[in-house]
């Protein structure tokens, strides 16, 4: 899954997106100017290939919401966690509404997925996670994430939980350096409980791995680790959906070889799709190296992630459901946050 530079596809974009190793496009704030422009861009991406590429975006809410003007502001997930402490049932209903709103507005643009929800626990130490986390309690996170996923599905979108097995207990930002989590397996179980719950309820279509070394269990980051993907996620948690490796351009991965080598490590460990963003030359090298790569089971898992039930944006915005949801979400308290662009 690759990124593109601007508001429309260049000839270089089209060329690389036609490569057989490419399976999707991730959009960023730089790709958005208006709803009509975004709709045209997604249509152009769809036209590049048959069957069409997956189109994704990080649109969690709070400071991680790529499209702003013309889209409903989704509150930070921490605000839903605080609402849960006051009234659990009301907060779960709000989480479902938030998921539905994310999916409905993105599906109106024909976007397949948002990489959400973030189910990392709020241990109070990770600045990169911060208020993206619902709560410190795995039970509360599981409750709210489950309802958020239900809302996504009702809006026509699959859910992709992140960052397995858990990003909330390390201070460093993996965009800038390689974090090391030295907790024991027993101490990590709380972080994995939301995944166990979501997998058990069949509401989880995708999981994104963390670029973190869990030193007591494996010497390499989770996204390159067969221990975390095969042993823990597949065998222990019985997960059969798609597995994503987070952006391989993050500095946390650089010591593990060239971009092509990193991509191959992640795929060999069990990832179904890797992300390569903000480095077109490295992406070209990885795509070329993987030109003959094929995993039929991965293709099946990824095909399940295409969105369903697209509705016209004008019809959505005129609906009673959208207007009621907008009013409900506007009532969720929270202070403004700077957008996270990475």
Active site residue 7: no
Catalytic residue among 5, 7, 40, 175: 175
| Torsion, CA 290, CA 227, CA 224, CA 49, rounded to 10 | 40
In angstroms, the CA 245 to CA 287 distance is 15
Closest CA to 133 of 145, 147, 118: 118
DSSP conformation letters of 63-104 = TEES--TTSPPPPPHHHHHHHHHH-HHHHHHHHHHHHHHHHH
Catalytic residue among 79, 173, 191, 246: 246
Active site residue 175: yes
Going by DSSP bridges, is the β-strand pair 160-164/206-209 parallel, antiparallel, or unpaired?
parallel
CB 147 within 8 A of CB 134: no
CB 190 within 8 A of CB 138: yes
Six token digits for residue 187: 């101490």
CB 131 within 8 A of CB 168: no
Six token digits for residue 243: 């597995």
- Cα distances from 198 to residues 67, 144, 162, in angstroms, run 27, 10, 12
- Spatial CB neighbours of 237, under 8 Å, sequence gap ≥ 6: 192, 195, 196, 199
- Spatial CB neighbours of 259, under 8 Å, sequence gap ≥ 6: 248, 249, 276, 279, 282, 283, 285, 286
Q: Which residues are catalytic?
A: 175, 246
């Amino acid at each position: 899954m690759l990124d593109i530079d601007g508001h429309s596809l260049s000839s270089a974009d089209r060329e690389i997106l036609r490569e057989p190793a490419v399976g999707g496009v991730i959009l960023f704030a730089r790709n958005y100017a208006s709803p009509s422009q975004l709709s045209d861009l997604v249509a152009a991406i769809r036209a590049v290939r048959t069957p069409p590429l997956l189109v994704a975006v990080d649109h969690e809410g709070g400071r991680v919401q790529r499209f702003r003007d013309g889209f409903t502001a989704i509150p930070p997930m921490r605000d839903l966690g605080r609402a849960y402490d006051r009234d659990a049932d009301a907060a779960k209903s709000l989480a479902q509404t938030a998921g539905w709103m994310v999916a409905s507005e993105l599906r109106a643009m024909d976007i397949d997925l948002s990489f959400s929800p973030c189910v990392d626990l709020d241990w109070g130490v990770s600045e990169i996670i911060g208020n993206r986390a619902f709560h410190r309690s795995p039970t509360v996170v599981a409750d709210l994430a489950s309802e958020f996923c239900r809302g996504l599905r009702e809006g026509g979108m699959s859910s992709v939980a992140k960052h397995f097995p858990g990003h909330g207990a390390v201070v460093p930002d993996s965009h800038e350096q390689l974090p090391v989590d030295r907790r024991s397996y027993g101490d990590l179980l709380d972080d994995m409980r939301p995944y166990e719950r979501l997998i058990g309820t069949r509401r989880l279509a995708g999981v994104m791995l963390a670029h973190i070394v869990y030193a007591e269990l494996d010497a390499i980051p989770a996204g390159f680790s067969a221990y975390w993907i095969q042993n823990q996620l597949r065998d222990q948690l019985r997960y059969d959906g798609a597995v994503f490796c987070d952006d391989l351009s993050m500095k946390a991965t650089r010591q593990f070889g060239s971009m092509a080598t990193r991509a191959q490590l992640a795929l060999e460990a069990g990832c179904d799709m890797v992300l390569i963003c903000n480095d077109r030359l490295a992406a070209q090298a990885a795509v070329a190296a993987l030109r003959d790569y094929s995993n039929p089971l991965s293709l099946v898992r990824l095909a399940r992630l295409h969105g369903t039930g697209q509705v016209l944006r004008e019809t959505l915005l005129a609906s009673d459901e959208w207007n009621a949801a907008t009013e409900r979400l506007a009532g969720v308290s929270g202070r403004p946050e700077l957008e996270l662009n990475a």
